Structure 1
Amino acid sequence: MGTGIVPSPVGSTANGFKEIPMVPSSLWEQALSRGLLDVFIRAGLILVLAMACYQVFHPFLNLMLWAVILAVTFYPLHQRLCNAMGLGEGKVATLITLVSVAILLIPVFLLGSSIAESMDSGLELLKGGDLQIPAPPESIASWPLIGQPLSDAWKQAADADQTSLVKQVLPYLKGAGLVLMSKLAGVGAGILLFLGALIIGGIIMAYGGNGHRSAVAIASRLSGPVRGPQIAELCTATIRAVAQGVVGIAFIQMLLVGVGFVVMGIPGAGVLALLVLLLGIMQLPVTLITVPVIIFVFATQGASLGVIIFTVYSVVAGLSDNVLKPMLLGRGVNVPMPVVLIGALGGMVTGGIIGLFIGPVVLAVGYKLFWQWVEDPPKLPVEEERTAP
């Protein structure tokens, strides 16, 4: 056989490599710019659609957040009742909603009546001019630092003409009254919002299975099929822990302390009970309210049997969170107190009274997700191949 050179195929070099046709750089730039323009246009349209959806949904955001929180919190009870009573999920959800509304309306009515009576008696006192400031006790002057100035100011106020004194402070009382009325109106709107969220939460509970599957599917789409169910379970556990261990305990304390104040006839019992609720959510001791009230009752009514019983009851009710927290909060995910406090304060500033409840839950979920992301870094491809079955 003779030797010779085999001609290269068309489009190949003598060494057998393909020749890459030279494309002018201007065509590459045009194609690249056209692709980027398409991406930007699509991203812009998606952003506009998301903003439009947010504006439409924004008025109902707090309502739906609170409804989801209530549904997640009550769902274990819902499942136990379904198994025990043999009823359908819709009927059990309706039963839980009706009982919860009845339980909520009774203390709200009592506290609202107490607030209205306190405001009426205060207005009548100011209008009638019967306001009298008693003389200060002699022991106040012996207090260190502030005793003598406080005693002198108290004596001056007691000796002054009460009518002129009321006229002097009336403008300030008017401004404070307007602020108080606006806050009470916010509380009323929050209660109505809570009732609406409770009804919607009952509807969500009736379809709890589908809701759980949807949450797992969304989390899996965002974080992958392995971490998605874990993230969904973490969010569920955190919501239940904070809702039961923070908001639930604060609400129970408000009921216990508020009922004692109403029965004892404490002036402004409804307002004091709301302050107990706020302190409980912000993880501050409720004794800041109960101790001054106990001192006031002893100073005005003396050391009778009823006062002693009220004192013991108020102390036990104020310290009940020490018993309830290990029972409720310990079942879920523990969240540091500063996170709950910041969530309560920030939620109250941004969302009003309903934000006081939603803020700790949302911030606690974000806190736990952040630390899970920090403590669980993504695996390298080599590690994934080794751990693969």
Structure 2
Amino acid sequence: MPNRQIFGLVLLGVMVWLGFVVVKPFLTPLVWAAILAYVTGPYHVRIRRVCGNRPSLAATIATLVLMVVLVVPVSFLLIRLQSELADAYRDLSTKYTSQPLVLPKVVTNIPILGPALDEAVTQVWNDPELRKQQVKEWLEPWVRELAGIIGQIGRTFAQLAIMTVTLFFFYRDGDRVLEQIRGGLRKVAGEPADQYFNAVGDTTQAVVFGLIVSALAQGLIAGIGYAFIGVGPPILLGALTAVTALVPFLGTVAVWGPIGLWLLFSDRIGTGFALLAWGTFIVNPTDNILKPLLISNATDVPLVIVLFGVMGGLLAFGLVGLFLGPLILAVLFAIWRQWLAEDGDSSRSSGFGSKQ
């Protein structure tokens, strides 16, 4: 390789690294804007046709529509979350320090275990001074977390503003950006780059859309259950349920499970069983139906890849990694299968993760 090419590659690598350092503080809203622009791309194309193929006007309308549909409800939820977090803290800090805990008879009547639990609760929890000290120890970490969450809400509004501005430019200039990426792939991979690009596009849309719709559906259904049954702040609990719905193996049971058990131990037997039944038979099956329908059936990507992607992405990139992780693994899987298909290796391409 000539020295001039080596120098060019080194210079390109240095500039890419410097560019990453510059945009790193804004990486999260940029990624969200790119994901939203790509997923809602077909709707933007329709708007652009109605506007007579005027890119700036179409991008403005598409951005405003998405703000009304997505950003405004999210902003409302963030404001409500801040209020409900404060209310929940006040309830915890006052209610459980002044009220003793009485186990229901269903629990105390259990042979051997019931009397032991009742005695432990009476000696520990129902001692007023000890109860106040215990509640204080439990709440202090949550107070710090609450302050951090409230501060994060303010930063989230700033990120929403950056994401909205970026979304406009992605809508307006996205076609040119994608064509340049396609051209770069052609230089690296040759003619098969177009097939890779199409496979990546289909996979991206299905994975992101499937994860978002499945999580929002579970959060909404769970929130309706919380409000109907009369448990806690429903918007806060519904939002937490939607977030946990993205985490494999843990899932929504991490929210409604402990609440249901607490209701049972608080002698609200009917309410507790109602919430546990709602989560078990209504909320959880929603994920089992929607996620395979929207992801696996649409792209032929095994759900195990999505699950590992979610866990690894969360550890590597934080909250946005819930989408980036499975997207990266799913795209790699799609490129792998496309590469095998080019070589005509039907025996391997019809194996793991492919339709029979």
TM-score class normalised by the smaller sequence: 0.7 to 0.9
Alignment of 1:255 with 2:255, yes or no, is no
Match of 1:51 in 2: 17
Match of 2:172 in 1: 206
**One-letter identity of the residue aligned with 1:269:** P
Q: How many residues end up aligned between the 2 structures?
A: 341
Find the residue that maps to 1:282 and give its secondary structure.
coil
Residues 187, 372 of structure 1: alpha-carbon distance in 2 compared, 3 angstrom cutoff: farther
Match of 1:120 among 83, 87, 100: 87
Identity %: 23
Residues 249, 83 of structure 1: alpha-carbon distance in 2 compared, 3 angstrom cutoff: farther
CA positional deviation for 1:46: 3.8
CA RMSD of aligned residues (A): 4.0
TM-score by length of 2: 0.75
Match of 1:154 among 121, 138, 153: 121
Match of 1:175 in 2: 141
Matches within 5 A, 1:130-169: 131-141=98-108, 149-161=116-128, 163-169=129-135
Q: Deviations over 1:27-69 (max 9, x none)?
A: xxxxxxxx88766655544433332222223223333222222
CA positional deviation for 1:243: 0.9
Find the residue that maps to 1:207 and give its secondary structure.
helix
**One-letter identity of the residue aligned with 2:100:** I
CA positional deviation for 1:205: 2.1
Match of 2:234 in 1: 269
2:232, 2:148 → 1: CA distance?
Answer: 20
Alignment of 1:229 with 2:194, yes or no, is yes
Alignment of 1:95 with 2:54, yes or no, is no
Residues 129, 325 of structure 1: alpha-carbon distance in 2 compared, 3 angstrom cutoff: closer
Contact 1:347 1:357 in 2 (8 A): yes
**One-letter identity of the residue aligned with 2:121:** W
CA positional deviation for 1:185: 4.1
Alignment of 1:280 with 2:208, yes or no, is no
Residues 227, 121 of structure 1: alpha-carbon distance in 2 compared, 3 angstrom cutoff: closer
Find the residue that maps to 1:320 and give its secondary structure.
helix
Residues 288, 310 of structure 1: alpha-carbon distance in 2 compared, 3 angstrom cutoff: closer
**One-letter identity of the residue aligned with 1:173:** L
2:242, 2:11 → 1: CA distance?
Answer: 45
**One-letter identity of the residue aligned with 2:89:** G
Q: Deviations over 1:256-279 (max 9, x none)?
A: 433553566532434422332223
Alignment of 1:72 with 2:38, yes or no, is yes
Unaligned stretches of 5+ residues in structure 2 = 346-356
